[in-house]
Amino acid sequence: MVIDHRLIDFFKKHKLYNKEMFKYFEEHSTMIDPNYEDERMLTGCAYSIDRYTGILKDIHITLPYIIDESTLLDSVHELTHAIFSYYKIGKRFEKDITIETLPLLYERLYIMDNPSQKLEAYGKHLDSLIDETDPEYYFAINARETLLKSYNYNPTQMIKIVSQMGKKYYFNEWKNKHKRR
């Protein structure tokens, strides 16, 4: 893994950097050439989950070499997935409605920390791709506004708030299903 110092500085600033964890990422990652669209599509964070126990065994990240603002922001997104999943290795892991919330939050924080027209434009472009047909992204884009209001550089607190929002979402879903007609 080739990791840009701007990303390291960003994650340090937001208290998400841990040397051991990034060493793990180095050993569990692939770099791709973002100049080729079919390679670029491979960008992502993959979870290896034991099919019998549901326990997360490993994470593998595929990141683009940094060539511009879009590759920076895509890397913030995937690394955020990896960072928050890293602590779940060895534990039961389920993808739920909140899975895209923190990556979208930290994407936005990266733009706020490094204001530039190109970054803002790419951020807007990403947001414009989201609609109700992507439940996880749709949930995330709404939750992000709430999280930004109470953002205080405390990842543990962010996790707590996000998980509460997720529970509320599932409770409302359940309530709607069981509504008396």
Q: Alpha carbon 177 to chain centroid distance?
A: 29
The H-assigned helical ranges of the chain are 5-13, 19-27, 37-40, 69-86, 101-113, 117-128, 135-149, 155-177
3-state secondary structure of 114: coil
**Which C-beta is closer to Zn ion: that of 34 or that of 103?**
103
- When the beta carbons of 66 and 76 are compared against Zn ion, the nearer one is 76
Using DSSP bridges, classify how beta strands 56-64 and 29-32 pair: parallel, antiparallel or unpaired. parallel
Q: Which two tokens stand for residue 1?
A: 């893994």
69-86 helix and 19-27 helix, angle to the nearest 10 degrees: 110
Whose Cβ is closer to Zn ion: residue 137's or residue 176's? 137
Instruction: Please give the residue ranges that form the binding site for Zn ion (CB under 5 A).
Output: 100, 103
Structure tokens at 73: 């922001």
Q: CB-wise, 84 or 176, nearer to Zn ion? A: 84
14 or 101, CB closer to Zn ion? 101
Query: CA 127, 133, 135, 138: dihedral to nearest 10 degrees?
Result: 30
Q: How far is the CB of 78 from Zn ion (least distance, A)?
A: 7
Q: How many CB atoms lie within 10 A of CB 170?
A: 12
* Closest to Zn ion by CB, 20 or 132: 132
Return the residue nearest Zn ion (CB atom).
Answer: 103
Q: State in angstroms the smallest separation of the CB of 103 from Zn ion.
A: 5
Distance, first Cα to last Cα, the chain: 56
